[in-house]
Structure 1
Amino acid sequence: MKKKITNNLGLKLLSLFLAFFLWLLVVNISNPIISGTEEVPVEIKNEGVLTAAGLAYEIVGKSTVTVNYRVHILDEYKISSSDFKAYIDLENLYDVTGAVPVEVEVVSHKTELSSSSVEITPGVIHVNTEELQRKSFAVQGKPVGIPKTGYDLGDLKITPEYVYVRGPVSQVGQISYVGIEFDVEGATADITGTASPQFYDANGNKIEELSRVTVDIEEITYEQSVLKVKSVPVIFNVGGTVASEYEYLGLETSAQSISVVGESSLLQSLTAINIPESELSIEGATGTKSLTIDVTKYLPEGVDVVGNNKNITVKLKVEPLVTRTLTLNLKGLPETGREDDYKYSLNSDSVEVTVKGLEEALNNLDADQLEAEISLAGMIPGENPGVLNIEDTDTYRVISYTPFTVTVTETVAPVSAGADNVAEKEETETHSSETTE
């Protein structure tokens, strides 16, 4: 097979060359006309006609047309899309359908291209129109990043504070606010600069494409102050007295300290934020009070709270006192004031002790926790009112206990011991008489 291909290779190559030469000779002699196409962008003329009428426009579909042309084959390589100019004139806009005819011109290689041989597809372009709107927006700053630890952002000055946006109603209506972004990452000092305005929707998302909207100011100047941060304790001064049979239990707060910003000289002298008694009064209170306090009222001028933490919540806890009766077993209780010459007996095995305090504390109180003692001091033979010693605590106080009696009897001395004492006494008296004589 290989021999068949290589046999007479020179003759075969010569045949190919002669065939190409013959083709080239025929083309140059005949130079036939062929068809070609180019995609050409459509230009807009007389936009001011619609602008003057308070209208904006938008091309429906593609903004290019296909130019079909005929040219001699030898000139085809010269032709490109830049040889044609396609345009629509908005003065020719047909209001009912929004159609505008497309015009095309041959701008170069006119000798190779005949205008009569040039056609365009499509022949018309549709244009939508709507009213123009001019609306004012306040410019908002959108810092990007976080200042260095121990610093926070202060006041932001924006110039100008307002801009005017102009465009189709449908596009301007998408804008919720105009903002500028600038970098504050790691900042320890004031930041100044300029930034281009951006459009944002109601969710704070940037709107990237609003092709027909313009802003009257292209650059916005900003001055962002950066301040020192200090954490300052909050002191709560509670005043007044709760109503009878109620008790103040203390307070709960959403913040024991507040981070504030300001000039270093001002922060140095600020050691605490004092909330006065007038804000935290419990006078006559019969229940828990919940308060919201604006701490900025108690900050010196030039010092402000970091972020949106100016309001702190305070709960002044006040609860009613309740009573509870406990059964106290008298047997085995410690005794004080016992006399050795007396014998003591109780007429009751137990008593009911009534205590007053906070419900939660009393619910967990057991009679054994009262640490009661029976006082026998000063009792004489016979029946005596019983006395219990029970100390009040922070959680309860004793209101009463049921009466009981203590019977006291003298202890009887043994007979043998008494006779010995009498004999000893008589002997002593006899001895004394003899001595006197």
Structure 2
Amino acid sequence: MEKKPFFQGLTKKTIALALAVILWAFTNFELDVERDVRIPLHLSGLPEDLIIVNNAPENVDLSLRGARNLLSSFAFSNKSIPVDLQKTERGVLKIDLKRAASQIVPRGIDIVAARPSKLSLNIDMLVTKRFKVKPVLGEPDSGYEISKKLKIVPQFVKVKGPASQLGKLESIETAKIKLEGEKAEFTAPVQLQLPSQYMEVLEGDHVNVTVYIKEIILSKEFRDVDIVPRNFGELEYTTTPELKATLVFNGPYKTINDLTSNDVKVFIDGAEMGESRVKRLRVKVQYPNSDLLKLTKTSPTSVRVRVKPPPPEESPET
């Protein structure tokens, strides 16, 4: 009787099928397969009167070992490692991240390692405190100064943050206000500079600061300036031995610095003698930029002048 084709080589086919089943089982149920995954860390339930004052990692790297089919079928992309903080109190909270991750890993998969393996959270009380605003100023241009107290609106701000950090503060500083190029009063909005990322200004993060700038007023003294007699014509006269003056000027920084003794004219006016033979003539001073400069001292203020009498007229010969 002739054998049917199906039964030809049946033994070999059976062996091949058995090997295929064994290979499939070995491939899908091997326990030594490892896989590294990155899973987000999710902190929740922190009481409203508490705050975490250090940075927790956003993700945890896990090394997993298990059957290939389990690792392949486990959907890691929509998972996160939960950490419940509802019963947390002020202080340092230590968390075993490998243990926390075990909540989301199914049976049959082992967590070989977690990186980081531990998490320490510094927990502080969350409080609100009122602080005075302290402007930080740059340097004005040479020859200019701040003329009076700054105007700050608002002068005080409320800041929310960790109790331990707010307790060390006395005021809240602003960003540096640049004064270069400013020649007069100006107002500018200025950002507040909080010293910690865990602090928050409750009513806006900037203040308006008015700065009053003016040019510095300086004094300048000139000594031994010649007093020049004018308008005496052919009169013969005598004065004090030395016609020298001391002058003091006040004025804006640049104007006063540019002023030299050659710019100043000091004199007495003989036209003021009139018919007098002896008289004290006022010392007069002429100088540029009289609308900006002020003469605050003149010494001497006057000079005594004596005019010689004219010679007697000769009598006509008889």
TM norm structure 1:
0.36
Structure richer in helix, relative to its length: 1
Q: Which has the higher contact order (CA 8 A, sep 6+)?
A: 2
TM-score, normalised via structure 2 length: 0.47
Give 1 or 2 for the bigger CA radius of gyration: 1
